[in-house]
Amino acid sequence: MGVSAVSVLPYWLSGCKKDQLGNFPEGFKIIVVGAGAAGLYAAKKMKEHGAQVDILEASDRIGGRIWKNDDFADFPIDLGAEWIHGKKSLSHQLAQDAGFDFFEDQGEEAFLVNGQIQNNYSSSILENIMGILDGDVSYSGPDISILQYAQQQGMGSQDFGILEYIAGEFGTSAERLSLLYTQREEEAWSSGNKDFRFKRTYFDLINEVVVPSVLENIHLFSPVTSINYSAEKVVVTIENGDTFEADRVLITASVAVLKSGIISFSPALSTAKQQAINSIGMDTGMKVLLKFSQDFWSATSLIGAENAPVYWNASWGKGGSDYVLSAFVMGTKAEQLSVAEEGIIPTLLNELDAVYNGQATASFLNGVIMDWGHQPYIRGAYSYSSLGIGDQRSILAESIGNKVHFAGEATATNGHFQTVQGALESGEREFLAMLESVGG
């Protein structure tokens, strides 16, 4: 396990005050690859402590997997991250300190069981699986998928839609999510169990609280194609051939981008590092926003449908007057939906029509498809605990030769992988590791 991953606690966990830290030596240069949560927050911290920072962002915008749509409805909607997961998190702290309007999510769930809507549905096998995944129920059996486990337990066919919803929350499908390693990784979760929603969006928080101090350091349209760390300085090349030289580089591109090989390394990455990249799961995923002229649904979310394992009321708590459902589809379900013969939106409307007596098509106004797998510099939703993942996140998080560092949600070894807070914390972790290594 890398020094960077374990030896330093972030201020907000350790109670250590910012002014107890020193500064980087004068003229110390750091290149941050990626202007998502991890890169932006790391850069903010580095700059506060005297480093010269360049943030190279491949796309035409900041935020990465935090993004919003402002003009689909009469309220802003998150296209990516939407909830703060847990009160004891850096995100919660940032939102609270900045006086952001956010509230605890206490929405009501409805379940689709054998084609019928049921409130307060319970199933002992599903509860057992949730308990294991959350780390509340112990499991020391073999490394099998949650689908295999459910089948072994004799789960009835009526529960498989809900099982896919559970897997979807973890960013994949039931057949791909490791029961054993999800539990092991989730055991470290320390943020608490409450979820919070923004009156505006997660994007607004990052854009208003983190971005301003590093705005002038961001280079958009700058896809990094190669990183050469063979000499004393690191040389980073972007697509148009321009090069940047620095003392350190912090890579925050998603693990799916690293898998794709669009960034080459010289010297080549070690076999262990490459294996870590290959082993950590990251599937495609999409959010589909559907706007209607009436709210024909009853609960805040509908769980267990075939094509979209969960639909939720995106209007809830936003204070607008438009009615919007958000379909959240991950893993194999997203792969199938993206090639649905009748099209993505008609497939979802048909599914809703069957549950709500044709009211979906009758009141449908407009739709937006946000397919994260097709974003060239994201290539999926978020990392998950795949079968056999073991401690590969720690290996991914290890820095190379005190020159090349890795952050981003997939490198979170504190149970907060998949989340914005995990990304922010990983950025802070690497900032602290760099500072510590120069005696600052």
Ligand X SMILES: Cc1cc2nc3c(=O)[nH]c(=O)nc-3n(C[C@H](O)[C@H](O)[C@H](O)COP(=O)(O)OP(=O)(O)OC[C@H]3O[C@@H](n4cnc5c(N)ncnc54)[C@H](O)[C@@H]3O)c2cc1C
CA dihedral defined by 225, 280, 381, 138, rounded to 10 degrees? -160
Stretch that binds ligand X, among 110-118, 137-145, 337-345, 416-424 (CB under 6 A): 416-424
Asked if 372 touches ligand X (CB under 6 A), the answer is: yes
Stretch that binds ligand X, among 102-110, 290-298, 359-367, 373-381 (CB under 6 A): 373-381
The residue (of 44 and 65) whose beta carbon lies closer to ligand X is 65
Asked if 250 touches ligand X (CB under 6 A), the answer is: no
Asked if 304 touches ligand X (CB under 6 A), the answer is: no
Asked if 224 touches ligand X (CB under 6 A), the answer is: yes
Q: Which amino acid is at 101?
A: D
By CB under 6 A, what part of segment 69-128 binds ligand X? 80-83, 85
Asked if 11 touches ligand X (CB under 6 A), the answer is: no
Asked if 223 touches ligand X (CB under 6 A), the answer is: yes
Q: How far apart are CA 217 and CA 46, in angstroms?
A: 12
Selected binder of ligand X within 110, 133, 179, 263 (CB under 6 A): 263
Q: How far apart are CA 367 and CA 379, in angstroms?
A: 22
Minimum CB–partner distance for residue 428 and ligand X (Å): 12
Q: Which amino acid is at 149?
A: Y
Q: How far apart are CA 198 and CA 239, in angstroms?
A: 36
Asked if 368 touches ligand X (CB under 6 A), the answer is: no
The residue (of 80 and 281) whose beta carbon lies closer to ligand X is 80
Q: Could you say which DSSP state residue 291 is in?
A: E
Q: Could you say which DSSP state residue 177 is in?
A: B
Q: Ramachandran region of residue 320, left (φ > 0), alpha (ψ -120 to 50) or beta?
A: beta
Selected binder of ligand X within 59, 145, 307, 386 (CB under 6 A): 59
Tell me the C-alpha to C-alpha distance, in Å, between residue 315 and each of 78, 108, 262, 318, 371: 11, 14, 38, 6, 20
The residue (of 202 and 297) whose beta carbon lies closer to ligand X is 202
Asked if 10 touches ligand X (CB under 6 A), the answer is: no
Closest by CA position to 241, among listed 259, 229, 223: 223
By CB under 6 A, what part of segment 375-414 binds ligand X? 377-378, 381-382, 408-409
Count of C-beta atoms within a 10 Å radius of residue 358: 13
Q: How far apart are CA 385 and CA 186, in angstroms?
A: 10
Asked if 58 touches ligand X (CB under 6 A), the answer is: yes
Minimum CB–partner distance for residue 176 and ligand X (Å): 16
Selected binder of ligand X within 145, 178, 254, 301 (CB under 6 A): 254
Task: Tell me the DSSP string of 4-57.
Answer: HHHS---HHHH---GGGS--PPTT-EEEEE--SHHHHHHHHHHHHTT-EEEEE-
Tokens standing for residue 287? 């959010």
Asked if 39 touches ligand X (CB under 6 A), the answer is: yes
Asked if 33 touches ligand X (CB under 6 A), the answer is: yes
Per DSSP, the three-state class of 326 is strand
Minimum CB–partner distance for residue 54 and ligand X (Å): 11
Which residues are at the interface with ligand X (CB under 6 A)? 33-39, 56-59, 64-66, 80-83, 85, 223-224, 252-254, 257, 262-263, 285, 287, 372, 377-378, 381-382, 408-409, 418-420, 423
